[in-house]
Amino acid sequence: MQTGHVGAEYVEYVLRHKRGLTPQPPPLRLGNDALDRISLPEPDLSIYDPLPPEAMTRDPGTPPKDDPSGESST
């Protein structure tokens, strides 16, 4: 590799493992042409941006006491 040329396997390794990229699965085919033609747009998640954040709980409280038989009470 002194010339700086790399193979396709190395490029794939870099893209998948070092950058965390994974190949996309093929589209699901149901066998029904009408159903296979259905295409939905990506959802618009920006509608959740103006919602106020909920306060996080730092203390979840006391854990439930276990039953003497060894089973949890929940």
Residue 15: other Cβ atoms inside 10 A: 13
pTM for the model: 0.31
Give the pLDDT of residue 72.
Answer: 53
Question: Which is more confident, 55 or 3?
Answer: 55
User: 50-67: per-residue pLDDT in tens?
Assistant: 877 777 777 777 877 876
What average pLDDT does this structure show over 38-60? 81
User: 4-30: per-residue pLDDT in tens?
Assistant: 667 888 887 877 777 666 777 888 888
Is 60 exceeded by the pLDDT of residue 70?
A: no
CA neighbours closer than 13 Å in the CB half-sphere of residue 26: 3
Query: Dihedral, CA atoms, 48, 50, 52, 53, nearest 10 degrees?
Result: 50
